[in-house]
Amino acid sequence: MFKKKKLATLLLLLLTNIILPLNVFAYSDYVIAGGQNIGIELDSNGVIIVGTYEVNKESPAKNANLKTGDKIIKINETPVSSIKEMINAIDDTRNDTVTISYLRANKEYQTELTLIQDNDNVYKTGLYVKDSISGVGTLTFIDPNSKIYGALGHEIIEKTTGQKLEIKDGKIYSSTVTSINPSIEGNPGEKNAIYNSNDIFGNITENSMSGIFGTYKTTIPQNKLYKVAQPSEIKPGEASILTVTKGEEIKEYKINILKINKDTKSTKNMLFEVTDNELLKISGGIVQGMSGSPIIQGDNIIGAVTHVVVDDCTKGYGIFITNMLEEAEN
């Protein structure tokens, strides 16, 4: 539920003759709850084909057996990880045919692509490509000891291909909610927001099924510390979410947890309904951009919002906070 627009503490532990690997991180018993709106920019580890087009009634991509979703990793044996590098590698060729190495379903293939001149005598590849994604979401937690953060509660996918974005790097930024398009039955709404690319909160080192993770690089906000709840401590009933609905102010809104799914591999561990009249009036329930909003029960942080129930947008799903923290350890 990520709206489109634009980890590790080094711990060296020596015990007699046992050397544990670096990048080991054990999450704290208490973490800082998020709720801030964040801008997100991710750079892909490769150039993704998101579409093709014809040039003078010919399709260079089809002739080369290239398809939407393929990831270009080399041009004429030169590694490329951005559109700029791809263009430079093609410009360096001395003929109208280039050798392209690409990944499809995690297998590497190679093909020859013949460039075709358009009516302006410009050579074209017939490929629409992308090397980055940007958007907005919600910060879930910051570990006060390691400064590792987690957000979204689910992976970011490339919308055109439907595939998880394998990232090279990325950043999160401060963000301001300008308005909300409310949800209605069958049509989830969305937060409209802008972000400040000069105000970097942190880097992004992982895009996983449980969210995005990285290190918080700026001053840690003085938000409340909450105890990390284990799944066995979470109960059906009253709870709340922390999120921004206007500007940058984090507000707490009431929800009711209806069902709990103890499957730790799921991102839909909790089914809940929004009971807060103010939030229902503002947003109609859960909207895109609320992904990552912390779920609080008592003095515990128990999870994060991940999905909206499309047929009834007053309901949503959440992931256990422990699932996110355990992923952050890796």
Tell me which residues are annotated as active site.
154, 276, 291
d(Cα 273, Cα 47) in Å, to the nearest integer? 40
Contacts of 318 (CB under 8 A, 6+ apart): 153, 268, 269, 270, 272, 295, 302, 303, 304, 305, 306
Q: Are 269 and 303 in contact (CB under 8 A)?
A: yes
Closest CA to 252 of 194, 298, 318, 202: 298
d(Cα 63, Cα 18) in Å, to the nearest integer? 56
**Single-letter residue type at 245:** T
Contacts of 102 (CB under 8 A, 6+ apart): 49, 66, 70, 71, 72, 73, 108, 109, 110, 111
- Lookup: tokens for 140: 């879930």
Q: Is 65 helix (H, G, I), strand (E, B) or coil?
A: coil
d(Cα 154, Cα 307) in Å, to the nearest integer? 9
- Lookup: tokens for 21: 């690997």
What is the residue whose two structure tokens read 């001149």?
117
What b/e string do you get for 186-201 counting C-beta neighbours within 10 Å, with b at 16 or more? Answer: eebbbbbbebeeeeeb
d(Cα 91, Cα 99) in Å, to the nearest integer? 13
- Lookup: tokens for 32: 């800082």
**Single-letter residue type at 163:** Q
The answer for 275, left when phi > 0, alpha when psi is -120 to 50, beta otherwise, is alpha
d(Cα 281, Cα 222) in Å, to the nearest integer? 29
* DSSP 8-class letter at 26: -
H or E segment at 303?
A: strand 300-308
